[in-house]
Chain A
Amino acid sequence: MSSQLLTKLRTKEDLEILIGELDLLDNALYQTDKKYDDVIHNDIRSWVSEIILNESIKTEMPVYIKELKNDLANIPIISASINFEPSTSFLELISDWLKKYVNEKMVVDLLLNSSTLGGIQLSYKGKYIDLSLRKKIVGEMETVKLISTNMYQ
């Protein structure tokens, strides 16, 4: 199953909220009457409930939730450390680019790390790359230190 919801997620935060909403729905199974209606109309964001209602017509709700949860567990997450609080438009820009060129289901886990000074540190499925300003500066400093040591020798 490929839900529309998966393509709408942008950040890890969005993913966690969605998982929380699905948990609420899951728990509603044990209510005596109007099992899911109350939760769908009151506790879940409207655009999410709209998609859920549309997609769950063909299958039973518990099966739908289970499959959706399985898909969410395997969603690719890229971690990015930056040194500023990103705006919504910035987040959209990054997310759209990732969805277009890398994976349409990919979400970003943004971490605020002021020590990077600028640039970004990325890690994905255990791979890591440091494109931060700090690394550049440290590298330059090492070169300067080496040159000055050579000069004095």
Chain B
Amino acid sequence: MDFETFLNATGEIGYVRRISSTIVFCDGLPGAKLSEVVIFENGEIGQVFSTNKDSIEIIVLSKGYIKVGTKVARTGQTFKINIGNHLFGNVISPTDLITFEGNDESADRIIESEPLGIDRRKNIGKPFETGVTLVDLMLPLGMGQRELLIGDRKTNKTQFVLQSILTQAQKGTICIYAAIAKKRTDVILFNKFAKNNKIDGKIITIASYPDDPSGLIYLTPYIAMTIAEYFRDRGEDVYLCFDDLTAHAKYYREISLLAGRFPGRNSYPGDIFYLHSRLLERAGNFIVEGSDKKSGEASITCMPVAEMVMGDFSGYIQTNLMAMTDGHLYFDRDYYNQGKRPPINPFLSVTRVGRQAQTPLLRELSRKITSFMVGYEKMKEFMHFGAELSEESQKMLITGDKISSIFEQSSISPRPFSLSILMFTAVWAGYWQEKDINGLKLELKKLSNLYMVNEEFRKQAESTIQNSPSFNHLVDSMKSSQSNILQMLSELK
């Protein structure tokens, strides 16, 4: 349908009166509604951003050549996207997806939808595996959790996202990566990563770039969330990552300032909290009705990324996002500079609902590690004063160093849950006591290889973990099979 058809169908016309970058002010169109799609005389489209007494504000979604005096017509439609399996494996720009004309109700979805109510939500009960030992053991996440990834720029946040996407995609979860105003090279690298690891069949990448119109960048996370909801309603678990929402907020600020909104803190408009909260509220763990009419469970696990400046936790957008999410993983610049990978600071990170999804064994293990690591950190602080340490304290420091080395993980090498537990329990049980850190790292690498290659060993390890009612029981069974495992490792080259 063209401009004329819409003009005759709605019987309403408007004229562009003022242009302010991507925002266009026009008069007329008395029946225009918020978020309605409008079409310009030259075929370009826009979305109603705000309605005033005498004029309406429109966000233009193309780098067009709209002039003052151009005619505008309403369409009576809001933006929809056509979703299907054709989206997997490719990098998709929001412009390729958005439409306002489709009538296929099964695949077309409105971008701005209301989050499901409390009656359709369920407690988070399944653990979410990231493949990062530190997170899986110390800061466990659950399927349907909203976890903020926060840190300075270049602190391996995206590496963590890649690692968790790889883990989840290999487990069959649908992964959606929303690159908001990202560099083209970064997006290409991401796509290459997916293809190289043969997980592109499980990944949808929605990307907008810094040179795209602000309106398109603004819509990117909403489109990604709409796609996630589509797959959730089909009963599938979805992992969604917004990279990153601070950039999104900046583009929204640009739009708002151009539209003449009153600037608030850091010049952000007053509705910046609502902008993100209405997006993140759409994630969670839900009760869905499958095609067989039986109700099941499906989740949207959402990880927004927030960039901070010089480790400033008190930034406006950052604190807003912390308030909306169920915890945050803090990527510490100091840890990064010390060479720790991943540079997640477990003491400043929070997970609010992940623990409830853990098995009793894991919960016990997690508590044990956390309390031990807190003591270890305190002891290290104490060491700065050059104090003489007791034998017990020295032992604690050595064990702490060894546990820290378990958490050292190269960027794209996801570790299964069981392997992480196995490594920790082995060290805790006193394996390789005579080895130094480098020797231990080598042994851990061997253990990892053995676990990945030897299926029998893997099954045995998994069943030992599953059959252990408590952590002490697990440590005991590891101790009893110590000679066996060490023998197997020594046979490995």
User: A residues bordering B, Cβ < 8 Å?
Assistant: 123, 125-130, 135
Contacts and interface: CB of A to CB of B under 8 A. Distances in A.
16 contacts: A123-B13, A123-B28, A125-B28, A125-B30, A126-B12, A126-B13, A126-B27, A126-B28, A126-B30, A126-B31, A127-B13, A127-B30, A128-B7, A128-B11, A128-B73, A130-B7
Nearest to A126: B28
B449 interface: no
Nearest to B29: A126
A110 to B, nearest CB: 16
Contacts of B27: 126
A78 B210 CA distance: 42
A73 to B, nearest CB: 11
Contacts of A126: 12-14, 27-31
Please indicate which of the listed interface residues A123, A126, A127, A135 has the most CB atoms of chain B within 10 Å of its own CB: A126
B8 A127 contact: no
A28 B29 CA distance: 39
Please indicate which of the listed interface residues B7, B13, B28, B30 has the most CB atoms of chain A within 10 Å of its own CB: B13
Contacts of A135: 8
A141 to B, nearest CB: 14
Contacts of B12: 126-128
A84 to B, nearest CB: 21
Given A126-B27, A127-B11, A127-B13, 5 more contacts: A123-B28, A125-B28, A125-B30, A126-B30, A130-B7
A56 B12 CA distance: 40
| Interface size classification for chain B | 10 to 19
A127 B27 CA distance: 11
Contacts of A129: 11
Contacts of A125: 28, 30
Interface in B1-38: 7-8, 11-14, 27-31
A31 B73 CA distance: 47
A109 B302 CA distance: 55
Interface in B22-75: 27-31, 73
A130 B27 CA distance: 19
Contacts of B14: 126
A9 B11 CA distance: 27
Nearest to A135: B8
Nearest to A134: B4
Contacts of A128: 7-8, 11-13, 73
Contacts of A123: 13, 28
Please indicate which of the listed interface residues A123, A125, A129, A130 has the most CB atoms of chain B within 10 Å of its own CB: A123
A123 B72 CA distance: 12
Contacts of B31: 126
A125 B7 CA distance: 14
Contacts of B7: 128, 130
Contacts of A130: 7-8
A135 B12 CA distance: 16
Contacts of B30: 125-127
Nearest to B5: A138
Contacts of B8: 128, 130, 135
A123 B8 CA distance: 11
A123 B73 CA distance: 12
A135 B7 CA distance: 12
A153 to B, nearest CB: 23
Contacts of B73: 128
B179 to A, nearest CB: 39
Please indicate which of the listed interface residues A125, A127, A130, A135 has the most CB atoms of chain B within 10 Å of its own CB: A127
For the complex of A and B, the 9 pairs showing the least CB-CB separation, nearest first, are A126-B28, A128-B13, A126-B30, A123-B13, A126-B29, A126-B12, A128-B11, A130-B8, A128-B12
Nearest to A138: B4
A145 B379 CA distance: 87
A128 B11 CA distance: 5
A130 B28 CA distance: 16
A78 to B, nearest CB: 12
B252 to A, nearest CB: 28
Contacts of B28: 123, 125-126
A126 B12 CA distance: 5
Nearest to B56: A126
A135 B8 CA distance: 9
Contacts of B13: 123, 126-128
Nearest to A129: B11
B345 to A, nearest CB: 57
Contacts of B11: 127-129
Please indicate which of the listed interface residues B8, B31, B73 has the most CB atoms of chain A within 10 Å of its own CB: B8
Nearest to B10: A128
B209 to A, nearest CB: 36
A137 to B, nearest CB: 13
A125 B29 CA distance: 8
Contacts of B29: 126
B86 to A, nearest CB: 30
Contacts of A127: 11-13, 30
A14 B273 CA distance: 50
Nearest to B32: A126
B69 to A, nearest CB: 11
A7 to B, nearest CB: 25
B58 to A, nearest CB: 14
B308 to A, nearest CB: 46
A49 B104 CA distance: 65
A103 to B, nearest CB: 17
